[in-house]
Amino acid sequence: MIMKLQKIALELAAINFNRDPLNLNQLMEQYPIADIAQVFAEQLANQTLSEEDVFELVQLMPIARQAALLGYFSEPIREKVVERMPLEALAKVLQVMPHDERADLYAHLDETRQPPLLALLDQQERQDVQQLAAYPQGSVGSIMTTDYATLNADDDVPQAIARLREMANERETIYQAYVIDKQNRLLGTLSLKDLVLAQPTSLVSDIMTKETVFVRADEDQECAAQAISKYDLLAVPVFDEQFRLVGIVTYDDAMDVAEQQADMDFHKVAAVGFTGNLKEASVWLMYKKRVFWLVLLVFGNLFSGAGIAYFEETIQTYVALVFFLPLLIDSGGNAGSQSATLMVRALATGEVVMKDWLSMLVRELGIAALLGATMAIAVSLLGFWRGGSDIAFVVAVTMQIVVIIGCIVGMLLPFILNKFKLDPASASAPLITTIADSIGVIIYFSVSAP
């Protein structure tokens, strides 16, 4: 894979030097578009290619390949190319792009360019772009395509196959066809495999699957990804409020959503609300994304400091206690972060729902007790060596308690956030650690106080 990308990079550098459209088209035919897009991105990042170079090379390609390459570019790179394109050239690209991709491209255009661009499209394309671009970002409607195959219920098998053959070049997929009535209501679905294997005399209505999974256009885009994953679908139909078929979400778009959501959850668990390209992010942007939680948690840690100040006399009497303080409070935070991460993931995937909180709490108590006991035994041996049996007892009891409390806080916080319609992923590791640290300090010195 690395060798292939290096070879593409070398050929692309030569093509950029000569600006040879023939060699560029041969390169596009020889390698997958996704790999070529990756090389463009890497060379733009390391400044082997300039933004102007990328634009000029894209302009040398046939319209269909321009559209395909733009579909694989990341949003920042695509914007840099598109903002340089004349509206007439951009309109030609939109005409051959998949419906969902062209709507997304249109939605991210500068508002001053949108009306004149629409004027260059024919009426049907204009209405389609406006319809899809009108859905809120993050909704199912914003990622669906209207480019799906339809069949009539009273067609026989040869008629249905002929119909699919006619529309194959114009549809994003024909592997799953949708049987609709005159009001565009879904009657059933039919896979290409079932159609090909059916008896020629059979009607579509006889062989279609009438029980269908669907999502609503106004639902969160994660619903489509979850439905496709759960039911192992190639695509999921999308209904409007009147339960009319308005589009489909395909498997590749659903997987993009799943990857995007995983990135978002990962950054939220780390208390960083950033999902873009780290290489392309400015210092100021990263500062803004990270500073809020860090400053907030600084004030949260004041509770730990206040606890230490309150038990100052105890610390002066038993100096050996200070040795175990970082170990104990970190253990509570680590245990809580584990629990929170597992619960956030379980809630996100639907493995656990709100009504499961009590059973999960009981289960977590058992797990935390076992973890705490194991860690208490280990730390008590160290305590006995450092300060005798009294210190060993204090650190063992504290370890047991802080691990249990850390696990319970880590498990319950995602449920609490979900209850108040907040993102459970906001139960980040730094937040859990800060809470566990404050509680751990108070418990430790309370147990050790004479």
What are the structural domains of the chain? 2-137 (1.25.60.10), 148-259 (3.10.580.10), 301-448 (1.10.357.20)
The structure's pTM equals: 0.67
Rounded-to-integer distance, Cα 397 and Cα 404, Å: 11
Whether the predicted pLDDT of 269 surpasses 60:
no
Instruction: Taking residues 428-447, report their average pLDDT.
Output: 78
**Greater pLDDT, 324 or 339:** 339
Residue 281: the pLDDT is: 65
Instruction: Taking residues 281-290, report their average pLDDT.
Output: 71
Q: What is the DSSP letter of 136?
A: P
Q: Is residue 1 within 8 Å of residue 32, measured between CB atoms?
A: no
109 C-beta neighbours (distance < 10 Å), count: 16
Q: How confident is the model at residue 236 (pLDDT cuts 50, 70, 90)?
A: very high
* Tens-digit pLDDT profile for residues 379-396: 899 888 877 788 888 889
Residue 263: the pLDDT is: 67
Residue 450: the pLDDT is: 59
The packing angle between helices 99-107 and 63-72, to 10°, is 70
Whether the predicted pLDDT of 277 surpasses 70:
no
* Tens-digit pLDDT profile for residues 164-188: 999 988 888 899 999 999 999 999 9
Q: Is residue 422 within 8 Å of residue 413, measured between CB atoms?
A: no
Structure token digits, residue 212: 């269908």
Rounded-to-integer distance, Cα 80 and Cα 253, Å: 23
* Tens-digit pLDDT profile for residues 71-129: 999 888 899 999 999 999 999 999 999 888 899 899 889 889 999 999 999 998 999 99
Of 82-86, 155-159, 255-259, 443-447, the range with the lowest mean pLDDT is 443-447
Rounded-to-integer distance, Cα 443 and Cα 329, Å: 10
Rounded-to-integer distance, Cα 139 and Cα 358, Å: 31
Residue 200: the pLDDT is: 92
Of 34-38, 41-45, 265-269, 330-334, the range with the lowest mean pLDDT is 265-269
Whether the predicted pLDDT of 271 surpasses 60:
no
Whether the predicted pLDDT of 150 surpasses 90:
yes
Whether the predicted pLDDT of 282 surpasses 80:
no
Mean pLDDT score of the chain: 85
Q: What is the DSSP letter of 60?
A: T
Whether the predicted pLDDT of 274 surpasses 60:
no
Three-state SS at 31:
coil
Of 56-70, 72-86, 408-422, the range with the lowest mean pLDDT is 408-422
Residue 365: the pLDDT is: 94
Whether the predicted pLDDT of 240 surpasses 60:
yes
Whether the predicted pLDDT of 448 surpasses 80:
no
Q: Is residue 215 within 8 Å of residue 239, measured between CB atoms?
A: yes
387 C-beta neighbours (distance < 10 Å), count: 18
Q: How far apart are the first and last CA of the chain?
A: 66
Residue 3: the pLDDT is: 76
| DSSP secondary structure string for all residues of 365-429 | HHHHHHHHHHHHHHHHHHHHHHH-HHHHHHHHHHHHHHHHHHHHHHHHHHHHHHHTT--GGGS-H
Q: Is residue 69 within 8 Å of residue 37, measured between CB atoms?
A: yes
Whether the predicted pLDDT of 403 surpasses 80:
yes
Residue 154: the pLDDT is: 93
Whether the predicted pLDDT of 2 surpasses 80:
no
Strands (E), 52-157: 148-151
Q: How confident is the model at residue 153 (pLDDT cuts 50, 70, 90)?
A: very high
* Tens-digit pLDDT profile for residues 191-225: 999 999 999 999 999 999 998 899 999 999 989 99
Structure token digits, residue 360: 């999960």
Instruction: Taking residues 410-437, report their average pLDDT.
Output: 77
Q: How confident is the model at residue 247 (pLDDT cuts 50, 70, 90)?
A: very high
Percent of the chain at pLDDT exceeding 70: 86
